[in-house]
């Protein structure tokens, strides 16, 4: 059972999330392509998972008793790569190879390139099917006592995919208490706002009707993240979903809540945005100073 966060641990996670966001911007600038909004918005959740919640060992990535994390929305892989690097899976300097020829850090996660990944992902909607299969196989192999949890990270936009709901049906039917789905409810997708393109609400009621235990949280509140996962872990007779309301582009003022930054990196010429030559500098300054609240050591 997860313990409540101490003030010291909360500050530690805040610092890790800040470092992860800085690495995300540096990676995207180096690559010259990639997704900005989703990775920045999910940094707090990934920091909490890898530095507090997940049972894992960066020195032994294939440890049999580890928890599994499946990234279904593979386009936000910069946050996964950055978090793994800061957790010790590979050198932080390798992050600057994102999307480059022969890099292990492909534009979507590819397990053949980076074996520490649990799955390869790209086609939206497929990851939850994979996670459900893994959770079901673990129960078939070990009964209900293996102790492993299977976390599936999803975007809200990919819930437009029918395959997602087929997996949700099966997870509810099989009562997979070892499955915890975390939905990034940032309300954007590549063409606009989710509720304009394909309305999802009432999302909680939809999952409840498929026999999921549902948590709704502020995805930037570390205590809420930990508490919701703790409650989900305590549900043994069915799967759980945590609907995490996040701010896309979190920490970079000109990106926040703007769907245009879903699939674009800093350095993109967009009408009404800062000059493309200044975007990375502005973003890194805001992240290092928490929007000007603290003085940066780089100043």
Burial of 239 (0-12, 13-18, 19+ CB in 10 A): buried
Q: Are 182 and 45 in contact (CB under 8 A)?
A: yes
CB atoms within 10 A of CB 80: 25
Four-CA torsion 277, 95, 37, 16, nearest 10 degrees: -110
Query: What is the sign, positive or negative, of the torsion defined by CA atoms of 117, 149, 233, 72?
Result: positive
- Residue 92 has what DSSP assignment? G
Domain ranges of the chain: 7-288
In a structure prediction context, what are the per-residue pLDDT tens digits for the chain, which is 299 residues long?
Answer: 688 899 999 999 999 999 999 999 999 999 999 999 999 999 999 999 999 999 999 999 999 999 999 999 999 999 999 999 999 999 999 999 999 999 999 999 999 999 999 999 988 999 999 999 999 999 999 877 689 999 999 999 999 999 999 999 999 999 999 999 999 999 999 999 999 999 999 999 999 999 999 999 999 999 999 999 999 999 999 999 999 999 999 999 999 999 999 999 999 999 999 999 999 999 999 999 987 666 655 55
Residues with Cβ within 8 Å of 225's Cβ and at least 6 positions away in sequence, in order, are 44, 45, 48, 217, 219, 244
Question: Which architecture does CATH list for 7-288?
Answer: 3-Layer(aba) Sandwich (3.40)
Rg (CA), the chain: 18
């Amino acid at each position: 059972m997860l313990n409540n966060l101490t003030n010291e641990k909360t500050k530690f996670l805040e610092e890790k999330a800040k470092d992860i966001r800085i690495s995300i911007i540096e990676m995207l600038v180096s690559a010259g392509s990639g997704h900005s909004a989703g990775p920045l918005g999910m940094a707090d959740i990934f920091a909490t998972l890898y530095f507090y919640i997940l049972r894992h060992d960066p020195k032994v990535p294939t440890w049999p008793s580890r928890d599994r994390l499946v990234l279904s929305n593979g386009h936000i892989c910069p946050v996964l790569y950055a978090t793994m690097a800061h957790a010790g899976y590979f050198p932080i300097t390798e992050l600057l190879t994102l999307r480059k020829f022969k890099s292990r850090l492909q534009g979507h996660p590819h397990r053949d390139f980076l074996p520490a990944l649990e799955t390869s992902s790209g086609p939206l909607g497929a990851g939850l099917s994979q996670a459900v299969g893994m959770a079901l196989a673990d129960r078939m192999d070990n009964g209900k006592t293996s102790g492993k949890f299977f976390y599936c990270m999803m975007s809200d936009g990919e819930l437009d995919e029918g395959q997602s709901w087929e997996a949700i049906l099966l997870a509810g039917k099989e009562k997979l208490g070892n499955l915890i789905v975390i939905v990034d409810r940032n309300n954007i997708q590549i063409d606009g706002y989710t509720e304009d393109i394909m309305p999802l609400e009432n999302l909680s009621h939809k999952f409840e009707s498929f026999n999921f235990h549902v948590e709704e949280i502020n995805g930037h509140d570390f205590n809420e993240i930990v508490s919701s996962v703790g409650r989900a872990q305590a549900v043994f007779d069915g799967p759980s979903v945590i609907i995490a309301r996040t701010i896309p582009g979190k920490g970079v003022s000109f990106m926040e809540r703007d769907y245009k930054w879903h699939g674009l990196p800093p350095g993109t010429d967009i009408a009404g945005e800062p000059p493309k030559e200044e975007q990375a500098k502005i973003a890194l300054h805001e992240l290092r100073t928490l929007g000007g609240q603290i003085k940066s050591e780089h100043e």
